[in-house]
Amino acid sequence: MSLDTSRFIAEHVDALKPSGIRRFFDLASTMDNVISLGVGEPDFVTPWNVIEASYHSLEQGYTAYTANAGLMELRELISDYLKTTYSVTYRPADQVIVTVGASQAIDIALRAVLNPGDEVIIVEPCFVAYASAVSLAGGVPVSVGTKAGNGFKLQPEELENALTSKTKAIILCNPNNPTGTMLNREELLPIAELVEKHDLLVLSDEIYAELSYEADYVSFSSLPNMQDRTILISGFSKSFAMTGWRLGYAAGPAELIQAMTKIHQYTIMCAPTMAQYGAVEALRSGSASVEHMRKSYRQRRNFVTSAFEEMGLETNRPGGAFYIFPSIKETGMSSEAFAEALLIEEKVAVVPGSVFGESGEGYIRCSYATSMKQLTEAMKRIKRFVEKHNA
Amino acid sequence: MDKKEIEILELLEKNGRMDVHMIARMVELSVDEVEAAIHKFEEMQIVHGYSTLIDWTEVRGHEGVTAMIDVKVTPIRGKGFDDVAERIYRFPEVKAVYLMSGAYDLSVSVEGKTMSQVARFVSEKLSTLDTVISTTTHFILKKYKHDGIIFGEDDNNDRRMPVSP
């Protein structure tokens, strides 16, 4: 008899639901010639100058640890970048930390602030990791669903209804994965008022901020009185096409960043050194390559939005990120059934909206971070699929 | 020229075969507006044509050779380099002519079927022009990248996993 090793697993880990994306990944990866709109990362390769700078750092023998909070040079560049781009000021010495992707920044931010039982508001549909990250940090995730009728924008009254005496923080992702929704200043201000009124902290996930296509991006931290209540989280993955480098950062009040650095120092030491040197180059040189990618995403967004409208699938017009979240309610299928049938019948992989929270049911997430050639073919196939199943 | 017109030009520069319907969707204009813009570009000679980038080295029997020739010339009074350049660029085997700063005056790109064909052009046509002082011919051994396109790069090099958060 082999040992039942599962009994060693901690109960709170055992209780975590595996990500719904996983199942689709397993299914899609067994099939050939699949066009995938299921990918949550850029189709561009990291800009060459960034790759080259990282090579160079390795050649020069920069292979040791860096300071726990990251290279000072990189923190200074992040601080400059946040100042020039979003008009928010952070001291490189104690208000910025370089992390292993924005994901780790979310993790250590939650662990640094949550006491057991503290509630954290999660605005759904959202990135699949938030709720689990809250649970793992001992907190209690509380979902607030947004509605397509409001363009998936968080309504202040919906937020206020979900607040209790135990609410400690809100995780806001703007622009949003999976809906592509972007909140502008006017839409953020009433949320900021509630945050102040109820003495809350905001974990502002701004990883897609560079990919906004309409209005200028407003960082939550730049709103009146919000800098002391915001941990701004971002990184290099989406804007510089550096997902595999695993490099993100957080900026916030010194006490909080120092608390996060404590966890970081004991669990990670520091973010990978060669990735940090790549990021230094990215920030020094970056805006041209970011601009090129943003333009390309915007064109693809325009294309897919009109393609879905033409198919008769109701859809929001995404303001940022590289996702579109059309409704498939017309077909009468659940989003999971739709995604599975689409994959099997037409070999197009999309992610069922239900994976991102209950309010995502009836929608699918399509990433347009894919070549125009692939997108054109994918839209053709989805159209054929929808026509067949609507009939 | 407005932002969307620039965008149309950029799209066409990358792919001259891109369908107007597609362009219209990508820049959020009507098909008529895109057609009118393209017509305008042609009229204004901003768009000079829609050629195709072919890697002839992949076509057996048509590989050909290309040479870049540095040409020093005596400019003609009152006409500068333009007349000399014209006498050179009128030859059909000449694919490009640029006036350069630096050690020589004209950079001439010539294509031929064989090296000797190009050599003949240089010795018989180019060097014999009155105004040409000297020529230096460089044959291209391999084209890695041409007009922003990397030759031989795999189109299906997406290394991402099919589904990710």
Q: Report the distance separating Cα A350 and Cα A366, nearest Å.
A: 5
Q: What pairing do the DSSP bridges indicate for beta strands A364-367 and A140-145?
A: unpaired
Task: Mark yes or no for CB contact A25/B161 under 8 Å.
Answer: yes
Task: Mark yes or no for CB contact A25/B11 under 8 Å.
Answer: no
For the segment A283-322, what is each residue's pLDDT rounded down to a tens digit?
999 788 899 999 999 999 999 999 999 999 999 999 999 9
Domain spans of chain A? 8-46+288-386, 62-285
Q: Report the distance separating Cα B2 and Cα A291, nearest Å.
A: 17
Collapse the DSSP code of B107 into the 3-class scheme (helix H, G, I; strand E, B; otherwise coil) and give the result.
Answer: strand
Preferred mutation among A48, A51, A303, A374 to probe B, highest tally of B CBs within 10 A? A303
- Mean pLDDT throughout A320-325? 97
- Mean pLDDT throughout A244-271? 98
What does the pLDDT read at residue A23? 79
Sheet of B65-73: strand order equals B94-99, B106-112, B65-73, B132-139
Residue window 350-369, chain A: list those with CB within 8 Å of chain B. Answer: 351
**Looking at CA atoms only, how far is residue B112 from chain A in angstroms?**
34
Q: What percent of chain A has pLDDT over 70?
A: 99
What does the pLDDT read at residue B21? 96
Paired with A124 in beta bridges are: A145
B154 pLDDT exceeds 80?
A: no
B162 pLDDT exceeds 90?
A: no
Residue B9, Cβ density class (10 Å: 0-12 exposed, 13-18 middle, ≥19 buried): middle
Q: Which CATH number fits domain A62-285: 3.30.60.50, 3.30.930.10, 3.40.50.980, 3.40.640.10?
A: 3.40.640.10
What does the pLDDT read at residue A250? 98
Name every residue whose Cβ is closer than 8 Å to that of residue A302 and which is 6 or more positions away in sequence. B25, B26, B27, B28
Residue window 5-64, chain B: list those with CB within 8 Å of chain A. Answer: 7, 10-11, 22, 25-28
A373 pLDDT exceeds 90?
A: yes
- The partner residue sitting opposite B162, judged by closest CB among A19, A36, A307, is A36
Q: Report the distance separating Cα B111 and Cα B122, nearest Å.
A: 11
What does the pLDDT read at residue B152? 81
Model pTM score? 0.92
Q: Is A217 on the interface with B (CB under 8 A)?
A: no
Contacts of A34 in chain B (CB under 8 A): 162
Task: Mark yes or no for CB contact A21/B165 under 8 Å.
Answer: yes
- Mean pLDDT throughout A344-351? 95
- The partner residue sitting opposite A40, judged by closest CB among B10, B25, B164, is B164
What band does A1 get if pLDDT is binned at 50, 70 and 90? low
Task: Mark yes or no for CB contact A39/B163 under 8 Å.
Answer: yes
For the segment A376-390, what is each residue's pLDDT rounded down to a tens digit?
999 999 999 999 998
Q: Is A307 on the interface with B (CB under 8 A)?
A: yes
CATH topology of domain A8-46+288-386: Aspartate Aminotransferase, domain 1 (3.90.1150)
Q: Please answer whether residues A349 and A24 qualify as being in contact, where contact means their C-beta atoms are separated by less than 8 angstroms.
A: yes
Structure tokens at B27: 């820049």
What does the pLDDT read at residue A391? 64
| A159 alpha carbon, distance to own chain's centre | 20
What does the pLDDT read at residue A28? 86
Nearest residue in chain A measured CA to CA from B159: A43
Collapse the DSSP code of B67 into the 3-class scheme (helix H, G, I; strand E, B; otherwise coil) and give the result.
Answer: strand
CA-closest candidate to residue A202, choices A216, A185, A222: A222
Task: Mark yes or no for CB contact A40/B28 under 8 Å.
Answer: no
Task: Mark yes or no for CB contact A303/B160 under 8 Å.
Answer: no
Give me the domains of chain B, ranges plus CATH numbers. 3-43 (1.10.10), 56-142 (3.30.70.920)
